[in-house]
Amino acid sequence: MTELNTHTRIAITNVSRRGLLKGVIATGGLVLSAQFPAARGAMANTPYPTGAAGMPNGVVSDPKLFVSIASDGTVSIVAARAEMGTGAARTALPMIVADELDADWARVRVVQSPGDEKTYGNQDTDGSRSVRHWIQPMRQCGAAARAMLEAAAAKKWGVDASEVQAQLHEVVHKPTGRKLGYGELAADAAAEPVPAADKIKLKDPSAFRYIGKGTVRISDIVDITTGKAVYGQDVMLPGMKFAVVARPPVVGGKVASLDSSAAMKVPGVEKIMTLPGTPAPYKFGQLGGVAVVARSTWAALQGRDALKITWDDGPNKVYDSKAYKAQLEASVKKAGKVERNEGDVDKALASAAKVVTAEYYAPHIAHATMEPPAATARMSGGKWEVWAPVQSPGQARDDIAKAVGVKPEEMVLHTTLLGGGFGRKSKCDFAIEAALISKDLGGTPVKVVWTREDDLRHGFYHTVTAERFEAGLDAGNKVVAWRHRSAAPTILSTFEPDPKHPFDIELGMGWVDTPFNVPNIRQESGEAQSHVRIGWFRSVNNVAHAWSIQSFIAELAHELKRDPKDFLLEMIGPARIVDPRKSVTTPWWNYGEPFESYPIDTGRLRKVAELAAERAGWGKQLPKGQGLGIAAHRSFVSYIATVVHVEVSDKGAISIPRVDTAIDCGYCVHPERVRSQIEGAAVMGLTLAKHGEISFKNGAVEQSNFSDYPLVRIDEAPRETHTHIVEHGINVPASGVGEPGVPPFAPALCNAIFAATGKRLRRLPIGDQLA
Amino acid sequence: MANLRVNGQERAYDGDPLMPLMWYLRDELGLTGTKFGCGVGLCGACTVHVNGEAVRSCMVQMSETAGKTVTTIEGLHPRNEHPVQVAWRDNGVPQCGYCQTGQIMQAAALLAKKPAPSDAEIVEAMSGNLCRCGCYQRIHTAVRAAAKGA
Query: Are residues B90 and B69 located together in one domain of the fold?
Result: no
Query: Are residues B11 and B37 located together in one domain of the fold?
Result: yes
Query: Are residues B95 and B134 located together in one domain of the fold?
Result: yes
pLDDT tens string A403-432: 999 999 999 999 999 999 999 999 999 999
Where on the phi/psi map is residue A471: left (φ > 0), alpha (ψ -120 to 50), or beta?
beta
Contact A227 B31 (CB under 8 A): yes
Is the pLDDT at A6 greater than 70, yes or no? no
Mean of the pLDDT values across residues A60-75?
97
Query: Are residues B102 and B39 located together in one domain of the fold?
Result: no
- Say how many domains are in chain B: 2
Query: Are residues B100 and B126 located together in one domain of the fold?
Result: yes
Which of B37, B53, B75 terminates a domain? The answer is B75
Q: Chain-wide mean pLDDT for chain A?
A: 94
Query: Are residues B15 and B67 located together in one domain of the fold?
Result: yes
Sheet strand arrangement including A446-449: A269-275, A289-294, A241-246, A446-449, A374-380, A383-388, A411-415
Topology of domain A4-226 in CATH is Aldehyde Oxidoreductase; domain 4 (3.30.365)
Mean of the pLDDT values across residues A675-682?
98
* CATH number of the domain that residue B135 is part of: 1.10.150.120
pLDDT cut 70: percent of chain A above it: 94
Closest by Cα among A404, A387, A433 to A291: A433
Query: Are residues B113 and B51 located together in one domain of the fold?
Result: no
Mean of the pLDDT values across residues A151-176?
98
Identify the CATH number of the domain defined by range A321-366+460-757. 3.30.365.10
| CB nearest B132 (choices: A220, A228, A420) | A420
Is the pLDDT at A16 greater than 70, yes or no? no
Chain B residues lying within 8 Å of A681, measured CB to CB? 134
Contact criterion met (CB below 8 Å) for B58 and B26: no
A82-112 as b/e: b if 16+ CB within 10 A: bbbbbbbbbbbbbbbbbbbbbbebebbebeb
Amino acid at A31: V
pLDDT cut 70: percent of chain B above it: 98
Mean of the pLDDT values across residues A117-128?
98
Report the pLDDT value the prediction gives residue A12, as an integer from 0 to 100.
22
pLDDT tens string A247-261: 999 999 999 999 999
The 3-state DSSP class for residue A62 equals coil
Contact criterion met (CB below 8 Å) for B11 and B3: yes
Q: Among B6, B25, B27, which would you mutate to test the A interface (most chain A Cβ atoms within 10 Å of its Cβ)?
A: B27
* CATH number of the domain that residue B66 is part of: 3.10.20.30
Task: Please check whether the two domains, A232-315+373-449 and A321-366+460-757, share a CATH topology.
Answer: yes
Report the pLDDT value the prediction gives residue B10, as an integer from 0 to 100.
98
Is the pLDDT at A153 greater than 60, yes or no? yes
pLDDT tens string A183-198: 999 999 999 999 999 9
Residue B53's domain spans which residues? 2-75
Contact A419 B19 (CB under 8 A): no
Report the pLDDT value the prediction gives residue B134, as an integer from 0 to 100.
98
Name, in order, each residue with C-beta under 8 angstroms of A405's C-beta and a sequence gap of 6 or more. none
Identify the CATH number of the domain defined by range A232-315+373-449. 3.30.365.10
Report the pLDDT value the prediction gives residue A43, as an integer from 0 to 100.
58
Report the pLDDT value the prediction gives residue A717, as an integer from 0 to 100.
98
CB atoms within 10 A of CB A175: 12
DSSP conformational letter for A332: T
Distance from CA of A754 to the nearest CA of B (A): 25
Report the pLDDT value the prediction gives residue A576, as an integer from 0 to 100.
98
Each domain of chain A, given as residue ranges in start order, spans: 4-226, 232-315+373-449, 321-366+460-757
Query: Are residues B31 and B96 located together in one domain of the fold?
Result: no
Query: Are residues B7 and B63 located together in one domain of the fold?
Result: yes
Report the pLDDT value the prediction gives residue B148, as an integer from 0 to 100.
81
Radius of gyration (C-alpha) of chain B in whole angstroms: 15
pLDDT tens string A71-92: 999 999 999 999 999 999 999 9
Report the pLDDT value the prediction gives residue A601, as an integer from 0 to 100.
98
Contact B98 A220 (CB under 8 A): no
A328-342 as b/e: b if 16+ CB within 10 A: bbebbeeebbebbbb
Q: Give CA torsion, residues A654, A660, A665, A670, to 10 deg.
A: 100
Contact criterion met (CB below 8 Å) for A387 and A375: yes
Alpha-helical regions (H) of A478-594: 504-507, 542-559, 564-572
Mean of the pLDDT values across residues A134-162?
98
Report the pLDDT value the prediction gives residue A44, as an integer from 0 to 100.
75
Is the pLDDT at A100 greater than 70, yes or no? yes
DSSP string, B90-118: HTT--SS-TTHHHHHHHHHHHHHH-SS--
Mean of the pLDDT values across residues A637-663?
98
Query: Are residues B49 and B93 located together in one domain of the fold?
Result: no
Is the pLDDT at A4 greater than 80, yes or no? no
DSSP string, A253-317: -EEEEEE-HHHHTSTTEEEEEEEP--PSS-TT----EEEEEESSHHHHHHHHHT-EEEEE--GGG
Contact criterion met (CB below 8 Å) for A637 and A90: no
pLDDT tens string A510-521: 999 999 999 999
Query: Are residues B105 and B123 located together in one domain of the fold?
Result: yes
Which of B14, B48, B75 terminates a domain? The answer is B75
Name the pLDDT band for A8 (thresholds 50, 70, 90). Answer: very low
Amino acid at A263: A
Name the pLDDT band for B2 (thresholds 50, 70, 90). Answer: confident
Chain B residues lying within 8 Å of A422, measured CB to CB? 132
Which of B48, B75, B102 terminates a domain? The answer is B75
pLDDT tens string A293-318: 999 999 999 999 999 999 999 999 99
Give the CA count within 13 Å in the CB-facing half-sphere of B38. Answer: 26
Q: Among A370, A416, A450, which would you mutate to test the B interface (most chain B Cβ atoms within 10 Å of its Cβ)?
A: A370
Mean of the pLDDT values across residues B105-130?
98
Closest by Cα among B127, B136, B73, B140 to A222: B73
Residue of A nearest to B84 (CA): A225
Query: Are residues B131 and B106 located together in one domain of the fold?
Result: yes
